[in-house]
Amino acid sequence: MSHYNRSRFLLARWSIFAILIAIYMLVFFHRMAPAVISSDLMKAFNTSGAALGSLAAMYFYIYTAMQIPAGVLADTLGARVTVSAGTLVAGCGSVLFGMAGTFAGASVGRALVGLGVSVVFVGLFKSNSVWFSERNFGIISGLTLLLGNIGAIASAGPLAEVLRNHSWRSVFMALGGVTILLAVLAALLVRNRPEDMGFPSMRQMEGKSSHPASRRHWWDDLKSVVCTGAAWPVLWVDLGMVGSMLAFVGLWAIPFLRDVHSLGRSAAAVYTTSALAGFAVGSMLVGWLSDRIGRRKPVILGGTLLYAAACLGLAYLPWHPGPVGIAQFALLGLSAGGFVVTFANAKEVVAPALSGMAVGLVNTGLFFGAAVMQPLYGWALDLNWNGRIENGVRVYAPSDYHTGFLIMLGCAVIAVAGACMIKETYCRNITIDP
Three-class SS of residue 313? helix
Domain that holds residue 337: 8-194+221-385+392-420
In tens, the pLDDT along 368-382 reads 898 888 889 888 888
Average of pLDDT values for 382-391?
86
Average of pLDDT values for 18-25?
94
Please report whether residue 206 resides in a domain: no
Residues 342 and 142 sit within 8 Å (Cβ to Cβ): no
Higher pLDDT, 353 or 303: 303
Q: Tell me the one-letter amino acid at 301.
A: L
pLDDT over 60 at 235, yes or no: yes
CB proximity list for 420: less than 8 A, separation 6 or greater: 233, 301
In order, the DSSP letters of 353-367 are GGHHHHHHHHHHHHH
Cα–Cα distance measured from residue 405 to residue 424, given in angstroms and rounded to the nearest whole number: 31
pLDDT over 80 at 211, yes or no: no
Mean pLDDT of the residues in the chain: 87
In tens, the pLDDT along 139-174 reads 888 888 888 888 878 877 788 888 888 888 998 999
Please report whether residue 2 resides in a domain: no
pLDDT of residue 359: 82
CB proximity list for 18: less than 8 A, separation 6 or greater: none
CB atoms within 10 A of CB 229: 9
pLDDT of residue 210: 65
Residues 431 and 350 sit within 8 Å (Cβ to Cβ): yes
Please report whether residue 204 resides in a domain: no
Residues 349 and 430 sit within 8 Å (Cβ to Cβ): yes
Tell me the percentage of the chain whose pLDDT exceeds 70: 97
pLDDT of residue 232: 94
Partners of residue 389 on adjacent β-strands: 394
In order, the DSSP letters of 252-271 are IHHHHHHHHH---HHHHHHH
Please report whether residue 200 resides in a domain: no
Please report whether residue 404 resides in a domain: yes
pLDDT over 70 at 93, yes or no: yes
**273 exposed, middle or buried (CB, 10 Å; 0-12, 13-18, 19+)?**
buried
Cα–Cα distance measured from residue 329 to residue 334, given in angstroms and rounded to the nearest whole number: 9
Please report whether residue 157 resides in a domain: yes
298: left (phi over 0), alpha (psi -120 to 50) or beta: alpha
In tens, the pLDDT along 256-305 reads 999 999 898 788 888 988 998 899 889 888 888 998 898 999 999 999 99
CB proximity list for 296: less than 8 A, separation 6 or greater: 290, 341, 344, 345, 348, 422, 424, 425, 426, 427
Residues 68 and 119 sit within 8 Å (Cβ to Cβ): no
pLDDT of residue 394: 84
pLDDT over 60 at 89, yes or no: yes
pLDDT over 60 at 434, yes or no: no
Three-class SS of residue 390? strand
**180 exposed, middle or buried (CB, 10 Å; 0-12, 13-18, 19+)?**
middle
Of 126, 336, 366, 330, nearest to 239 by C-alpha is 366
In tens, the pLDDT along 189-208 reads 999 888 888 888 777 776 67
Of 54, 34, 86, nearest to 371 by C-alpha is 54
pLDDT over 70 at 101, yes or no: yes
Average of pLDDT values for 214-234?
84
Name the pLDDT band for 1 (thresholds 50, 70, 90).
very low
CB proximity list for 174: less than 8 A, separation 6 or greater: none
Record the pTM: 0.75
Total structural domains in the chain?
A: 1
Please report whether residue 116 resides in a domain: yes
Residues 356 and 126 sit within 8 Å (Cβ to Cβ): yes
Higher pLDDT, 99 or 31: 99
Please report whether residue 94 resides in a domain: yes
Q: What is the CATH number of the domain that holds 307?
A: 1.20.1250.20
pLDDT of residue 336: 94
pLDDT of residue 2: 54
pLDDT over 90 at 416, yes or no: yes
pLDDT over 90 at 21, yes or no: yes
Cα–Cα distance measured from residue 249 to residue 276, given in angstroms and rounded to the nearest whole number: 8
